[in-house]
Amino acid sequence: MMDYTPDEMMTIVAARQLTDGVSCFVGIGLPSAAANLARHLHAPESILIYESGTIGTKPVALPLSIGDEELAETSDTIVPLPEIFNYWLQGNRVDIGFLGGAQIDRFANLNSTVIGTYDNPNVRLPGAGGAPEIASMAKEVFIIMPLKKRAFVEKIDFITSAGFLEGSHSRTDLGFNGSGPSIVITDLGILRPDPESKELTLTELYPGVKEEQVQENIGWKLKIAKNVQVVEPPRDEELQKLRELKKA
């Protein structure tokens, strides 16, 4: 078994969530790495969509941005930006939205706008892009973020992308098309929303990680499932392909 880093574990676990044939709206960074790894290993018929308008793209190397020329060169087609949102997202044609953020709270709401107040922020972040629409309209949302206390907070400074808002049925009350986040993949384990309260709950740990380590890196009292499972470690072929993608 090859040695692996926490980031590699997180990316591989995220890739395992994608099944073959799904349409996936992909963000740059960890979501892109996970989605392309899945396409190379077990989901060759997955349709990867980027906000630049590329559909069915098959990059050999991980793209640096949504404007990376390889996304266009290897795509099945390129459509105008309004069509991505009007036809694909609003038309209920995106199975998975793959997102990350700077902050997340216990109900999987995401912040990628500001740290601090909106009018006088400590840090102004890259902003929303298409994330709010993806979070509200994709049939299902996967979130991938390294587990850090400054990111997993009791209350986020700004809701950029809606998870389950205040929990329970508050999301469905607003009539969002998508079902919301189904999984939060971190570098220590996996969180999933409670079926009733929608509060994120620790359901799986990575090999060698303790529940206490997860709690230490979260800014609220974490709910823990009765039977927390241990995730299978990365297989050699998964690690090899991920490293090839990063080097290409």
Reduce the DSSP state of residue 86 to 3 states and report it: helix
CA–CA gap between residue 243 and residue 240 (Å, rounded):
5
73 catalytically annotated = no
- The tokens describing 52, both together, are 């630049």
Residue 180 · residue 141 · CB < 8 Å: yes
3-state SS class at 225: strand
Residue 4 zone, left/alpha/beta (φ > 0; ψ -120 to 50; rest): beta
* CA 103 to chain CA mean position, Å: 13
CA 14 to chain centre: 8
Please name every residue paired with 204 in a beta bridge, in sequence order, or none if there are none.
190, 229
Q: Is 158 in a helix, a strand, or coil? A: coil
Q: Which of 51, 133, 204, 238 is the catalytic position? A: 51
Let me know if 135 is exposed, middle or buried by CB neighbors in 10 A (0-12, 13-18, 19+): buried
**How far is 21 from 10, CA to CA, in rounded Å?**
22
Catalytic machinery residues: 51
